[in-house]
Structure 1
């Protein structure tokens, strides 16, 4: 099911302070199905999405988003913001992609990255999504089994091929100035049905996910969970 009704407002809360005022030109790299791009367009931004997946690009167009089906390294033009939304960790050439993004910026423009630092996950963070599946499962909202093996080991195995958050932050710092980094909640997003499936009708799912997100934010603030999500930017 489409959980953008929960995810997009949360992203915008942290993202808007890093963006120039509308109608700034935004290139969203890895726009997926276009939920965030469409929300930014509704706020008055001039948004172009780019995605390498043809199916994702088509879904974004159905939302009314202007989309380029391509690798960002082939994109040209001038933008006030180049925004990577959970896509930079897949880049084959991290420095090359960020250098190209910086070259697309107008003077004073910003490269903004919404990501997660998978290497920060400890046992408590690895357990958090699965522990919180118990409540929606008991309420009949979610089906599926919790893995019985070591969850932290499974997390590392599933993510070690991706760029670490520290590597992305270091690379971002090499292409711009005035770095800004903001920790964000991200573990709650893992209750999106991975390892199971949301039951239908799922009208209560957004409230359940929002409650888990708030729990993650409280525990991160208290220091009992690491801050895994990150939002960072640099100015050209």
Structure 2
């Protein structure tokens, strides 16, 4: 499995647990080239559509930014997996997400709190990178950091600023301002991109205090 496929398989149980029962209408925001959760949703009886500029060129997808997409009216749930920290204006996107929901509709979010990616966590990840794929995002972060000669936190902050990344803290505040929080949990994030490392391995390191949990699992409902 590719890292993307591992991520989808690992996060699907949580995503599914936050959704209403099928045949609910669901939008998968930022589904990516693999199609996100849309194949699993449709196989499970959901009326699902994925939205992403790099979405598959198939039915049930819109290859466009979420901000400009032709959204279904009155959907039952919106999924956003590791997409909100990249968008230019998360408040605008979350407003659009909540605006398309029915009353009581669900927003299921899986996100990354990059600000918690401290040096100890980074070193733990870098020691577990495979040697066969130097193009992965964690490989690039390691190479850039070492080349910079700077302290990790300085490098991370500068990289996040260049990429326009939003912190997990900001995203949670924006979500809580618009939704009624039903669930918030933190856990493993990096394992799909690491060699011979499972979600359970990363969770064990978190439990031991060796690394920080940077993944955010969030479920909120529209008032």
TM-score normalized with structure 1 length: 0.78
RMSD: 2.2
- SS for the counterpart of 2:20 is coil
User: Equivalent of 1:126, from 118, 122, 129?
Assistant: 122
* Higher helix proportion: 1
Q: Residue 107 of structure 1: SS of its match in structure 2? A: strand
Q: Which residue of 2 aligns with 1:23?
A: 23
Q: Does 1:157 align with 2:167?
A: no
| Alpha-carbon displacement from aligned partner over 1:156-208 (angstroms, at most 9, x marks no partner) | 322232110000000000111134212131122444xxxxxxxxxxxxx7xx2
1:39-118 aligned at under 5 Å gives the runs 39-51=40-52, 53=53, 56-57=54-55, 60-62=56-58, 66-74=60-68, 75-76=70-71, 77-118=73-114
Q: Secondary structure at the match of 2:49?
A: strand
Residue deviations 1:48-98 (CA, integer Å, cap 9, x gap): 0111x2xx12xx235xx5111223233332211111111111222222211
1:125·1:187 contact (CA, 8 Å) conserved in 2? no
Pair 1:89–1:142, CA change in 2 (3 A) = closer
Give the deviation of 1:7 after TM superposition: 1.6
C-alpha separation in 2, matches of 1:164 and 1:219: 23
Determine the structure 1 residue equivalent to 2:217.
231
Deviation of 1:127 after TM superposition, in Å, equals 1.3
Cα distance 1:131–1:27, how it changes in 2: closer, same or farther (>3 A)?
A: same
Q: CA deviation at 1:128?
A: 2.1
Q: 2:185 aligns with which of 157, 182, 186?
A: 182
CA distance in 2, matches of 1:85, 1:131: 26
CA contact (8 A) 1:127 1:151 kept: no
1:142, distance to aligned residue in structure 2 (A): 4.1
Residue aligned with 1:132, SS: coil
Gaps of 5+ in 1: 192-204
**1:213 is the counterpart of 2:199:** yes
Q: Is the 8 A contact 1:26 1:46 kept in 2?
A: yes
Aligned-pair CA distance for 1:143: 5.0
Q: CA deviation at 1:47?
A: 1.0
Aligned length: 207
The whole-number CA distance in structure 1 between the counterparts of 2:89 and 2:213 is 26
1:7 partnered with 2:1:
no
Superposed displacement of residue 151, structure 1: 4.3
